[in-house]
Structure formats: structure tokens, C-alpha cells
Amino acid sequence: MTGASWTHLLARPMVRPLVGTAVRPNHLTTLRLLTGVAACVAFMLGTSAAMWWGGGLWLVSAFLDRADGELARIGNMMSPGGHRYDYLSDTAVNSLFFVSIGIGLHQSWLGSWSIPLGVISGAALLLCSLFSEWLEVSSPPGTRAYSGRWGFDPDDALYLMGPLAWLGWLAAILIGTSVGATAMAVIIGVRLLRLRRGNLPVSSSR
């Protein structure tokens, strides 16, 4: 994350009053994790009321995903441990989201396809996250697996999941993600493989 997207800039003034208090970035990360898991549990239920609750909780969780990093930046509280906790929480919640909606949509027009599509989407998103982290760690400083445009990061699209849940469009999103995230995982995986092959030491010939 660069911390310069619109969603980061919107979160910054909201967390600024927390600087100098007992609230730490890890506290916000924990709230992000708890609200994200609660949203996923609601999505698993699949009822109309649960979708509304899940969508609202998901928006709160998505905001906290930005807020913890902004508090760490402006409060000079960044640390490797905090970054790792934030990364693991984001990876777990975002992957669980698609598995959860797959379970919740088993009585929709997707029928028996919903759960396999949810597992595929969640697994593909997990691989995207892992491959991206490994790629950026193995590359020169400033390298990103994928960058945004016009002030938006690619994962800002997760903010839309709340309103889309309210509109009843998650089935279409699940199909699209199962294809798109799988393709992205393959692309990033190939980039990572090429990078690692390029970094292998060349044996001297005799």
C-alpha cells in the first residue's frame, strides 16, 4: 500500500485524533478482523436481513483496513510486526468473504455451483495475496505487484461488496471473481517464477 489513495486520504483525518492516545494500529486491525469475520458469518446465513447486516459490517471492516495503516503512518507507529498482522488479517478476511458468500448463495440461482465458486474465488484471492507479497519482497524497493490509477488501489473494489450485497448482485460478483482472481493469480505467479529464476546464481562452467 502506498497510503496515497483516496480511501487512505479519507481515513487520515478520522484517525488523526487517535494519535497520542492509547489506541494503537493493532487495535484497529483487530477491530477490522472482528468486523470482517462478523460480516462473513452474516453472509453465510444468506437471508435478506443477514445480507444487509453483512454489507454494513463489511463497509466498517473495509474502512478499518485503511484506518489502521493511516494511524501507523501519521503516528509514526509502523513496525514489521504490525505490517505482518495487518497483512495476515486482510488476507484471511478477504479470502473468507468469497467462501462465505458462496455458502450463503447456495439457495440462489447458482444452486450447487455457489459453494465451489466461493472456494475457487477465496483460494484464488489467497494466492494473489501471497504471490503479491512474495513478489514485492523479492523485488527492488517500490515495486508493486499491481498498482492503481486515478487515486484508487485495486483492492478499493472491496468497498463495493457492501452495496452490492444490498443490491443482491453477489452471485454475479462470485462468478466474475472466480475467473478474474484465478487469472490474476496465474499472472502474478508467472511474474514471481520469472523473478526467482532470474535471481538464481549462475553456476560457473569448467
In this prediction, residue 159 carries a pLDDT of 86
The three-class DSSP label of residue 206 is coil
In this prediction, residue 8 carries a pLDDT of 75
Helix (H) or strand (E) holding 183: helix 170-198
What is the dotted CATH code of the domain comprising 6-142+151-195?
Answer: 1.20.120.1760
What pLDDT digit, counting tens, does each position of 118-161 carry? 999 999 999 999 999 888 888 777 666 666 565 567 777 888 99
Spatial separation of the C-alpha atoms in residues 125 and 134, rounded to whole Å: 14
The three-class DSSP label of residue 152 is strand
The domain limits of the chain are 6-142+151-195
Spatial separation of the C-alpha atoms in residues 121 and 95, rounded to whole Å: 8
Q: Which residue stretches of the chain have pLDDT < 50? A: 1-3, 201-206
pTM greater than 0.85: yes
